[in-house]
Structure 1
Amino acid sequence: MRYWKNKIVHFFAFGSIYLNIEVFSKAYTGELIGFDGISKWSLCGWTSSWMFLVGGLCGVILGSLNDSPKFYNLKMWQQVFIGGTLIIVAEFLSGIFFNLHLHLNLWDYSQQKFNFLGQICLQNSIYWYLLSIVVLWFNAALSYYFYHEEKPPSLFKYFIKLITLK
């Protein structure tokens, strides 16, 4: 039972973080939808509450993987490859469901270079691989602070492990 309580905390944490990442990325790219005359940094944009579900599920899936010795004993680049790929697959499948099947039009990458069905694109895929490092670290940090599990190394050390291919 405790395992699922942990995952509920992770679901809400990662779902909330994903919503904020989306708003901040739209602010950075100037794509916020708000009132005329408000600066792009006002963060009056929008994100879909469905993205809370997608972000939460991705966090729980990666966190569950990270609980397995088979996964966390892999080299960091392998963990990042698997984690980033899972996030991209989740984005693609949720895009097919929400955008193409339900016609919610939450996002459309069809104008981006190297897109696939307008649901994923190369640029965002690279970001998801980089973000997976942070997700893996934050999952370990949540487990440490909430459940008194082993303290993870710093996020900086995660990036060092990736760069040195350890």
Structure 2
Amino acid sequence: MKSITQLFKHLILFLVGSGAYYFIEVLWDGNSHWTMALLGGICFIAIGLINEFLSWDTSMWIQALIGSVIVTILEFIFGCVLNIWLKLGIWDYSQMPLNIFGQVCLVFSMFWFFLSILAILLDDYLRYWLFGEEEPHYKLI
């Protein structure tokens, strides 16, 4: 029974992250690709797991930095598969400074840092409100 509850919890969190990522893409660029919803759900779950491995005493900026690295790595993997290997051309950061193969760049990694803060807060409060997990508390520095 516990595994079904865990599966349901992660499905809900995946769908929240999926929808949020897709919505942000549409707001930012006017459109998106269905694979970005998949990426968003995976990113949200991964960011949510930060508190499962680190204590609540870990500063928010460290958590956000880890979140940014997680999203950047996942975006790079998805970009290499979708854009380079499958040639879908979903995004191209090759004109951005400090990019890697046009799939990730420093500017968007910094953007993911700030979005990670929102994702951490949303994940923690959803876990608290919907699933009765520990009430969130944070250390800023």
Compute the TM-score of the two structures, normalised by the length of structure 1.
0.77
**Contact 1:71/1:79 (<8 A) preserved:** no
Question: Is the aligned partner of 1:131 residue 2:131?
Answer: no
CA distance in 1, matches of 2:86, 2:57: 40
Indicate yes or no: 2:75 matched with 1:91: yes
Q: Check the 8 A contact 1:112/1:121 in 2, yes or no.
A: yes
- Contact kept in structure 2, 1:84 and 1:125, CA below 8 Å: yes
Which structure's relative contact order is higher, taking Cα pairs within 8 Å and 6+ residues apart?
Answer: 2
Give identity over the alignment, percent.
Answer: 33
CA deviation profile, 1:30-55 (whole Å, cap 9, x unmatched): xxxxxxxxxxxxxxx32100001100
CA RMSD of aligned residues (A): 1.6
How is 1:42-121 mapped onto 2 (pairs within 5 angstroms)?
A: 45-68=30-53, 70-121=54-105
Q: How many residues align?
A: 138
Q: 1:64 offset after TM fit, Å?
A: 2.0
Q: Which stretches of structure 1, 4 residues or longer, exceed 6 Å deviation after superposition? A: none
Any idea what the Cα deviations from partners look like across 1:25-81, whole Å, max 9, x if unmatched? 12xxxxxxxxxxxxxxxxxx321000011000011111122233x253322221111
1:103 alignment partner, SS class: coil
Task: Evaluate the alpha carbon distance shift between residue 140 and residue 109 of structure 1 in structure 2; reply closer, same or farther with a 3 A threshold.
Answer: same
TM-score (structure 2 length as normaliser): 0.90
SS of alignment partner, residue 136 of structure 2: coil
For 2:103 and 2:119, locate their aligned partners in 1 and report how far apart those are by CA, in whole Å: 22
How many angstroms apart in 1 are the aligned matches of 2:19 and 2:6? 20
